[in-house]
Amino acid sequence: EVLLTQSPGILSLSPGERATLSCRASQSISTNYLAWYQQKPGQAPRLLISGASSRATGIPDRFSGGGSGTDFTLTISRLDPEDFAVYYCQQYGSSPVTFGGGTKVEIK
Amino acid sequence: QVQMLQSPPEMRKPGASVKVSCKASDYTFVNFGVAWLRQAPGQRLEWLAWINPYNANTYSAQKVEGRISVTADPSTTTAYMELRGLRFDDTAVYYCARTELRLRYFFDFWGQGTLVTVSS
């Protein structure tokens, strides 16, 4: 199965700063079938991005996804206080679908 | 707004079974798949199984194959996940999530999660 490695494990930033999160796959992900989710404590994950770069309905445009092949990024252009959470990537190009270990974005 | 409402937390002894429900609303139930995933403490999210509510086709992860059953009742727009032969390492929050009806999918709406605790 495809192993997804997210880095960094923890990102300490201040509101208003830019956040760049990385997701690296153990093999190329076909058709850029990669999604990103946000999870806050005690809540279910929320879909942010699918197809590597398509924002889900209602997701603010400060969230953007990019990359291809084995290297993908999620960028939050200006951190809002509500953006401090854990972020996961997920690939759905190969079966079974798999998730990364997460990046925690915390307030500096 | 699409909602997936799951059943309350459960506690079971090792070897027992648990059945979690997921009531879907505000979309056409048979036009989307329902997946089951779990998140154990300190572990990454793990896909367990998937069902097509239209024709009841299912797929499950090798790790739980033989112990998991997923069903769906279109008349009540409810999906179910039963896990048998529970072990301590099955302790986790179990989620249902909606997917497109295709073999390669992401999860666009999630249930709130059901904590299943396996303890003697």
Q: Please state, in angstroms and rounded to a whole number, the distance separating the CA atoms of residues A68 and A58.
A: 24
Q: Does B112 touch chain A (CB under 8 A)?
A: yes
Query: Token pair for residue B103?
Result: 């073999």
Q: Convert the pLDDT of each residue in A42-87 to its tens digit.
A: 999 999 999 999 999 999 999 999 999 999 999 999 999 999 999 9
Task: Enter the DSSP assignment of B31.
Answer: G
Residue written as tokens 């500096």? A108
- Residue B77 burial (CB count, 10 A): 19
CA A50 to chain centre: 10
Query: Token pair for residue B95?
Result: 């989620």
CB A99 within 8 A of CB A84: no
Nearest neighbour of A95 by CB, restricted to B46, B103, B111: B103
Please determine, for residue B102, whether its predicted confidence score (pLDDT) is greater than 90: no
Yes or no, beta carbons of A90 and B106 under 8 Å apart? yes
Size of interface A-B (CB pairs under 8 A): 50
Nearest neighbour of B110 by CB, restricted to A44, A50, A99: A44
Indicate the SS3 state at residue B15: coil
- Give mean pLDDT, residues B81-110: 96
A71 to chain B, closest Cα gap in Å:
18
Q: Convert the pLDDT of each residue in B48-67 to its tens digit.
A: 999 999 999 999 999 999 99
Yes or no, beta carbons of A35 and B106 under 8 Å apart? yes
